[in-house]
Amino acid sequence: MSPIEPFLAASRHGFSISSAELVVCGIAGLLTLLCVLFHYEVMSWSSRLIPRLGLVRRPRIVVLILAILVAHVVEVWVFGVTYWLLDRAPELGQLQGNFEEGLLDFVYFSVTSYTTLGFGDMVPSGAIRILCGTEALMGLSLMTWSASLAFLEMQRDWGEFSNRQE
């Protein structure tokens, strides 16, 4: 008997992963990879391009923030469209609640998951919950990463401004 067997036997249902959960884990992993790579490219492009635009202080920061916001909106839509597509496969889980099941309802749910706001008017059930949790973790991570880039850009901007003042 292995040391983990008593733990597994004592759990509510043992340790098992359904095929639906495996499929949703795969989808969550793929979306995470795609969104992180996309976010990296937007941030990398922004870091290289914005200083070359020759913009003064405020417009430079505004362009950066707009680029970051566009990246987040695209990522939210990627998850929203995925929820909408997965709704056609109820064996993978479903969103339940007060909504009309149009694409924008799924994007709305994605926004509340990505931002970890979670109003509770739409609730996931089944394996799709894995995707919702992954999206929340990813949204939190990518927003923090974005805030770090914005801080670094503003710090560079303030340094250049201070040097010009002297």
pLDDT of 10: 55
Residue 91 belongs to domain with CATH number: 1.10.287.70
- What total of structural domains would you count in the chain? 1
Show the tokens assigned to 71. 């990246």
The whole model's pTM is what? 0.83
List the Cα angle 60/65/68 in 5-degree steps: 130
9 contacts: CB under 8 Å, gap ≥ 6? none
49-60 pLDDT tens trace: 877 777 777 788
Helix (H) or strand (E) holding 47: helix 19-52
* Arithmetic mean of pLDDT over the chain: 87
- Is 53 contained in some domain? yes
- Is 12 contained in some domain? no
- Is 14 contained in some domain? no
- Is 100 contained in some domain? yes
Q: Tell how many helices (H) and how many strands (E) occur in the chain.
A: 5, 2
- Is 2 contained in some domain? no
SS3 122: strand
Q: Which residue range is the domain that position 130 belongs to?
A: 19-165
pLDDT confidence tier of residue 79, bands split at 50, 70 and 90: very high
